Chains A and B, each alone.
Chain A
Amino acid sequence: MPDKPIEGEKRVFMTGNEVVAWAALVAGAEIMYGYPITPQNEIMHYWTRLAPKYGREFLQTEDELSAGFTTVGGVLAGRKAFTATAGPGNTLMQEPMSMAEAMRLPTVVVIQQRGGPSTATVIYSQQEVTMTTLGGNGEGLRIVYSTATHQELFDYTIKAFNTAWKYRFPTFVLGDGYQAKMRESLTIYDPASRGIELVEAEPFLGKPGVPGVDRPPTQLRNTYNVEEELYEVLEGYFKDYEKIAPEVAEYEAFDVEDADLVVVSHGVVSRACKAAVKELREEGIKVGYFRPITLRPLPVDAIRETASKARQFLVVESANGQMARLLKEAAFGCPVEMLSLFKPGVGITAEDVVSRVKEIAG
């Protein structure tokens, strides 16, 4: 059985869902648990075709609660396990991921956002930001990468496994229906060929030896008897999260130094924003581009720095301000005016952004 799905690197033209399957494969994912929902189905379709060739496993579960909890079980057994979902599936996935949060389990979930609330459309949105970053009962102790291109979908899916297993927080790759279904060119590669070291997985349960004889038993729980007991555990988690946040947080920005107005967006929408900013700059308008790549933790320092230089932020989203809320919190106290272009559940073009900026500029 070949153990290297990709030798060196390869230029390809594929859909985002296919990209995710390849990325999970080269990231060393050993088992996928999944439940069908559009627009992520083809992740499972490709995975089930590729996986047996490389000794990897798949289980189609009865629902997303089960897909999430079996993923948790796979991780507990020490395997790189993952799942993928969207929309109402993401809603159900919050219960298992809240357990992963409680136990600091390195689960990996790929979300291909679709329209909401509820079943809505099967196509596209950026409306799963709040749920993916802060979902479940808890405090949102998780890591969320929002990808913009197929190349990033590949890069960050690999990275998600490494981040998850290194820091032990549930990790999400937040794509969307456009990324899932459209085809574009990218380079897929063997991580080793780029010097990317894969973080090893290790078992939480079922380590060698007889528990209570050779070693203490591993006993994990997510129920606590008294308030103080939980508080103490959470205090530790918050400290850990605060410590790793600056290491994990990522962003992309240009032309922000002298910009009066900075266009802020995430995911595929930032492709339109990037094109718009370039076009507006050519016309001599002082605009900048800023994109958080991690929506949780946010790149707070970079946001605050940008927000203290620019007069205005134009927040552009295919949602009704789900990222804007996160930005406002991050930039609290900075003298920046927050303006918006929100089209919930609908795609945004460069023209939309250009005309909104011109409207603001008057």
Chain B
Amino acid sequence: MSVQPAMPKSWRVDTKPHKFCPGCGHGLVLKALGQAIDELGIQDRAVFGCDIGCSLLAWDFFNVDTIQTHHGRTTPVITGLKRANPNLIGIAYMGDGGGYAIGSQHLVNAASRNERITVILVNNTQYGMTGGQMAPTTLPGQKTETTPYGRDPEKTGYPTQGPEMVAAITREGAYVARGTVANLRQLKNYLKKALENQMAGNGFSFVEVLSTCPTNWRTNAEETWKMVEQELPRYFKVGEIKVPGQKEGEANG
């Protein structure tokens, strides 16, 4: 008899195993999110919106009402939904391409307006679904299909510091953090706080998650883990960046 690992209650069992590549970080983020939904008891009023990109593979992932929308447009769809029915808990789930490139104006403006929604952005440093092209988050020197000799920041800029940007443009009431699939307890904690912040009606909540894409990184298990545990945090600082009620510079963990 094999012992199955416990699935979050809010997961849809009949659509498992999920469709992400082996070793993909998306499944881990969604596990932490599932646990957060369970622990907060919001399965009945959470609406999960996913983008185009690998996140679309989660369109039937949860026993939660779900809308899979267009590339980069998950934020306005969830904004429109939340404005029309403030009782719902709106979760916009996207990749770094969806959030920082094509959909960046939506992210910036939703953050500036302090929309009472929760945005979860999975940073795997490239465009997964379309086959590993450069993203705004691609590391200097990192090889992708469109930076075959490594990203040259002189030509294509430095990795987008998403949470730092969101923290800078949001007012009191926003919650901003960067988690990682390398620390799932902490990630779940951040996701829970981001959802609680929305439930309390405080303001915009944003969690970026450092994540893996072994398929496009072309890495084995060991290298994948090295990349997410060691390489990524050199550019992207893990921790809480803005917490309502806390003085600036105080937030961390």
**Which residues in A have some Cβ–Cβ distance to B below 8 Å?**
30-31, 33, 57, 59, 61-63, 65-66, 69-79, 81, 95-96, 99, 203, 205-207, 209-213, 217-223
- Chain A residues within an 8 Å CB radius of B209: none
CB of B68 within 8 Å of the partner chain:
yes
**Per-residue interface assignment for chain B, residues 80 to 95, with 1 indicating a CB less than 8 Å from any chain A CB and 0 otherwise:** 1111110110000000
B88 to chain A, nearest CB (A): 5
Contact A209 B106, beta carbon cutoff 8 Å: no
- Chain A residues within an 8 Å CB radius of B134: none
Contact A76 B81, beta carbon cutoff 8 Å: yes
Contact B70 A222, beta carbon cutoff 8 Å: yes
A347 vs B37: C-alpha distance when bound (angstroms): 58
Query: For chain B, what secondary structure do more than half of its interface residues adopt (helix, strand, loop), or is it mixed?
Result: mixed
A218 vs B67: C-alpha distance when bound (angstroms): 8
- Chain A residues within an 8 Å CB radius of B52: 223
Contact A62 B109, beta carbon cutoff 8 Å: yes
Contact B81 A73, beta carbon cutoff 8 Å: yes
A218 vs B49: C-alpha distance when bound (angstroms): 12
Can you give 5 A-B contacts (C-beta < 8 A)? A31-B84, A62-B105, A73-B79, A95-B70, A213-B63
A185 vs B69: C-alpha distance when bound (angstroms): 42
CB of B45 within 8 Å of the partner chain:
yes
A79 to chain B, nearest CB (A): 4
The residue that A78 contacts in the complex, of B43, B56, B76, B84, with Cβ under 8 A, is: B84
Contact A217 B76, beta carbon cutoff 8 Å: no
B42 to chain A, nearest CB (A): 10
The residue that A66 contacts in the complex, of B47, B63, B67, B76, with Cβ under 8 A, is: B76
**Per-residue interface assignment for chain B, residues 41 to 85, with 1 indicating a CB less than 8 Å from any chain A CB and 0 otherwise:** 001110100001000100110111111111001001111111111
Contact A72 B65, beta carbon cutoff 8 Å: no
Contact A31 B83, beta carbon cutoff 8 Å: yes
Q: How many positions in chain B have a CB within 8 Å of any CB in the partner chain?
A: 36
Contact B80 A73, beta carbon cutoff 8 Å: yes
A85 to chain B, nearest CB (A): 15
A63-B105, A81-B84, A205-B81 are contacts. A211–B73 as well, Cβ < 8 Å? no
Contact B76 A70, beta carbon cutoff 8 Å: yes
A212-B43, A219-B60, A223-B59 are contacts. A69–B105 as well, Cβ < 8 Å? no
- Chain A residues within an 8 Å CB radius of B10: 212
- Looking across the interface, which residue of chain A has its beta carbon closest to that of B70? A99
Contact A69 B85, beta carbon cutoff 8 Å: no
Contact A70 B77, beta carbon cutoff 8 Å: yes
CB of B12 within 8 Å of the partner chain:
yes
- Looking across the interface, which residue of chain B has its beta carbon closest to that of A58? B83
Contact B84 A69, beta carbon cutoff 8 Å: no
- Give me 7 other A-B pairs in contact (C-beta within 8 A), A73-B79, A99-B70, A205-B67 excluded: A70-B80, A205-B88, A206-B81, A213-B63, A217-B64, A220-B66, A223-B52
The residue that B12 contacts in the complex, of A33, A75, A212, with Cβ under 8 A, is: A212
A96 vs B65: C-alpha distance when bound (angstroms): 20
The residue that B65 contacts in the complex, of A33, A79, A217, A222, with Cβ under 8 A, is: A217
- Chain A residues within an 8 Å CB radius of B67: 76, 205, 220-221
Contact B85 A206, beta carbon cutoff 8 Å: yes
* Among all A-B residue pairs, the 3 with the closest Cβ atoms: A73-B80, A212-B63, A70-B80
A9 vs B30: C-alpha distance when bound (angstroms): 55
A297 to chain B, nearest CB (A): 26
A142 vs B47: C-alpha distance when bound (angstroms): 27
Contact A66 B83, beta carbon cutoff 8 Å: no
The residue that B85 contacts in the complex, of A70, A203, A223, with Cβ under 8 A, is: A203
The residue that A211 contacts in the complex, of B56, B63, B81, with Cβ under 8 A, is: B63
Contact A217 B12, beta carbon cutoff 8 Å: yes
A210 vs B63: C-alpha distance when bound (angstroms): 8
A63 vs B102: C-alpha distance when bound (angstroms): 13
Contact A66 B109, beta carbon cutoff 8 Å: yes
A205-B47, A210-B43 are contacts. A77–B80 as well, Cβ < 8 Å? yes
- Looking across the interface, which residue of chain B has its beta carbon closest to that of A211? B63
A222 to chain B, nearest CB (A): 6
- Chain A residues within an 8 Å CB radius of B78: 73
Contact B80 A69, beta carbon cutoff 8 Å: yes
Contact A74 B84, beta carbon cutoff 8 Å: yes
**Which B residues, 195 to 225, have Cβ-Cβ distances below 8 Å to chain A?**
none
A62-B106, A212-B12, A220-B66 are contacts. A95–B85 as well, Cβ < 8 Å? no
A168 vs B43: C-alpha distance when bound (angstroms): 27
Contact B76 A206, beta carbon cutoff 8 Å: no
- Looking across the interface, which residue of chain A has its beta carbon closest to that of B107? A62
A96 vs B79: C-alpha distance when bound (angstroms): 14
- Chain B residues within an 8 Å CB radius of A210: 43-44, 63
